[in-house]
């Protein structure tokens, strides 16, 4: 199977042949349809020092993807489901308070891995495996744009935090802030 990766110490992506992954218990096999490329991918390449998976001489790139479930492998997913894999995952050592609270995006370095960025291969391959808990099902009609779910989720998270910080500073919710009447500052 083919994948796009960066080798240790290099700054140019390269096409490599790797074995097709076999899903473990609780994982589904996903055929990747599209992968987005953004500034983070360029940073990984430019630094030539990506945080590679342990013991690996290369890292498969790509952290924004959409795919279709090929083999649900006993998960609650179905063959043919269109899914977006999430980027941030529990660290190899297991869970921590950020994941337990449902706030993996708040986990600092060392408390997570990020596929295609920190400590785990990305999605720029023909097939990937993933635990079902990290696969978000989307409607089939969104398959062409599903790789944009990750950057949109970042924007949503920023808005949640902006709203929450505004509530804390005033002591009461201010829903008008996002109603369109007070957006001039944005």
Domain that holds residue 77: 2-147
Residue 131 lies in a domain: yes
Spatial separation of the C-alpha atoms in residues 10 and 8, rounded to whole Å: 6
Domain-embedded: residue 127: yes
C-alpha–C-alpha distance, residues 58 and 93, integer Å: 22
Mean pLDDT of 157-169: 73
Say if 175 falls within a structural domain. no
pLDDT at 173: 55
DSSP secondary structure of the chain: -EEEEEETT--S-EEEE-PPP---TTEEEEEEEEEE--HHHHHHHHHS--BPPTT-SEEE--SEEEEEEEE-TTSS--TT-EEEE-SEE--TT---HHHHTT-GGGPPTTS-EEETTBEE--S-BSEEEEEGGGEEEE-GGGTTTGGGHHHHHHHHHHHHHHHHHHHHHHSS--GGGGTTSS-TT-
In a domain, 39, yes or no: yes
User: What are the backbone dihedrals phi and psi of residue 24, each rounded to the nearest 5 degrees, phi first?
Assistant: -90, 175
Q: Is residue 159 one of the residues assigned to a domain? A: no
On whether residue 63 sits in a domain, the answer given is yes
Structure tokens belonging to residue 75: 């998960």
Token representation of residue 83? 């899914």
20 to 3, 28, 29, 31, 98: CA distances (angstroms): 10, 13, 10, 10, 32
Is residue 184 very low, low, confident or very high in pLDDT (cuts 50, 70, 90)?
very low
Nearest Cα residue to 37 out of 143, 116, 133: 116
Q: Which of 5-19, 26-40, 125-139, 169-183 has the lowest mean pLDDT?
A: 169-183
Summarised one tens digit per residue, pLDDT across range 84-141 is 999 999 888 888 898 898 888 888 888 999 999 999 999 999 999 999 999 999 999 9
Tell me the pLDDT tens digit for each residue of 130-142: 999 999 999 999 8
Q: Is residue 15 part of a domain?
A: yes
d(CA 5, CA 99): 28
Which pTM was predicted?
0.81
Taking residue 61's Cβ as centre, other Cβ atoms within 10 Å add up to 26
Residue 177 forms part of a structural domain: no
Indicate whether 65 pLDDT > 80.
yes
CATH of the domain at 11: 3.90.180.10
Q: Measured in whole angstroms, how far is the alpha carbon of residue 59 from the centre of its chain? A: 15
The structural domain count of the chain equals 1
> Which phi and psi angles does 147 have, rounded to 5°?
-70, -10
């Amino acid at each position: 199977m083919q994948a796009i990766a960066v080798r240790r110490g290099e700054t140019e992506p390269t096409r490599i042949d790797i074995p097709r992954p076999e899903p473990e218990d609780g994982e589904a096999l996903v055929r990747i349809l599209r992968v987005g490329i953004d500034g983070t991918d360029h940073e990984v390449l430019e630094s030539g020092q990506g945080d590679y998976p342990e013991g690996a001489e290369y890292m498969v790139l790509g952290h924004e993807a959409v795919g279709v479930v090929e083999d649900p492998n006993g998960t609650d997913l179905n063959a043919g489901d269109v899914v977006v894999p999430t980027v941030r995952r529990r660290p190899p050592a297991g869970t921590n308070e950020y994941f337990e609270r449902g706030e993996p995006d708040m986990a600092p370095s060392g408390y997570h891995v990020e596929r295609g960025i920190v400590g785990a291969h990305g999605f720029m391959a023909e097939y990937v495996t993933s635990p079902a808990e990290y696969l978000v099902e989307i409607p089939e009609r969104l398959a062409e744009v599903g790789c944009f779910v990750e950057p949109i989720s970042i924007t949503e998270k920023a808005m949640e935090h902006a709203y929450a910080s505004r509530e804390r500073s005033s002591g009461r919710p201010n829903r008008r802030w996002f109603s369109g009447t007070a957006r001039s500052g944005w």
